[in-house]
Amino acid sequence: MSDHWILTPTRNNLHLLKRAVVTFRAQDIGDIRIMIINNGSTDGTGPWLHSQHDIFAVHYPGRGLSVAASWNRGLEKLVQKNDHVFVVNNDTELHPSTYRYLFADGGEFVTAVGTRDPKKIESMEAPDPAKKRRNPDYSCYLMRRSVWEKVGPFDEKFLIAFGEDGCHHLRMYRAGIDAYALELPFLHYGSATIKNAEPEEQELIKRQADLNRTYFTEKFGFPIGSVAYYEAFGQTPLADEGAT
């Protein structure tokens, strides 16, 4: 029997991580196990994690790992013994049934949809399986082991953050995996790491994001989020659905 694991990379923003963990523990799918990848946090995250005896924490010094590498280190460990892993950002809050609904859907790669309106979480109902968005949200996704086996790890040449999700989505599409988002809201503060970082670190993140955009274009022959990007999925851009 597979365990119900939640995997979350974090760098600082302990105030948000604490709120997220409360909602992780409240998931109604059964016994929840939590793995936190702590990437060089300097705001007390490390000591707090050491005090949380139900959390399996892995600590990386300095700036820690990129988003892609963080996901890979957690996933490569967890998918060995589990048929799925639920991966969630540290700046999120979930309805108690989020994990259960994503798992029950049965898709290989299925996500919820981020919102900044907490009222949508409070009034959340079971998602209509007929209403699925084409672009998955990598801030809150459930991935089956089969995806890892067919697609492999995230591309760690995307350093710090940005682009690793769009690259992975395109690789899944080319591997024949139907990835989508249910009409299932979760609260997402969005880009909390860069918003709350010191100015010097903000500039580093922005510069690397630009380098990641260039790398994506070199790898696939078109920019992420461009018309050609959507056409690679057999799509045309919609006003209400941004790039992955």
Q: What pLDDT, on the 0 to 100 scale, is given for residue 2?
A: 76
Rg (CA), the chain: 17
- Provide mean pLDDT across the span 163-189: 96
Q: Does domain 4-231 have CATH number 3.40.190.10?
A: no
Q: What is the band of 194 on the pLDDT scale with cuts at 50, 70, 90?
A: low
Angle subtended at Cα 198 by Cα 197 and Cα 201, rounded to the nearest 5 degrees: 80
41 φ, ψ (degrees, to nearest 5): -65, 145
For 18-22, 125-129, 130-134, 236-240, which range has the lowest pLDDT when averaged over its residues? 236-240
In the prediction, which pLDDT does 199 show? 81
Which stretch of DSSP H or E encloses residue 114? strand 109-115
How far apart, in whole angstroms, are the C-alpha atoms of residue 233 and residue 79?
27
pTM for the whole structure: 0.93
Angstrom CA distances, 182 to 33, 124, 228, stand at 23, 12, 25
Higher pLDDT, 176 or 197: 176
Q: What is the pLDDT of residue 191?
A: 67
Give yes or no for residue 244 having a pLDDT over 60: no
In which band, very low, low, confident or very high, does the pLDDT at 193 lie, cut at 50, 70 and 90? low
Percentage of the chain beyond pLDDT 90 is 83
Across 33-50, average pLDDT: 97
What average pLDDT score do residues 147-175 get? 97
125 vs 87, residue with greater confidence: 87
Break the chain into its structural domains and give their ranges.
4-231
Averaged pLDDT, 44-56: 97
What's the mean per-residue pLDDT of the chain?
92
| 3-class secondary structure per residue, 34-77 | EEEEEECCCCCHHHHHHHCCCEEEEEECCCCCCHHHHHHHHHHH
pLDDT tens for each residue of 75-108: 999 999 999 999 999 999 999 999 999 999 999 9
Measured CA to CA, the distance from residue 163 to residue 175 in angstroms comes to 18
pLDDT number for residue 202: 85
| Of 164-178, 199-213, 224-238, highest mean pLDDT | 164-178
Assess whether pLDDT exceeds 90 at residue 213.
Answer: yes
Burial of 81 (0-12, 13-18, 19+ CB in 10 A): exposed
Q: What is the pLDDT of residue 129?
A: 84
CA 188 centroid distance within chain: 11
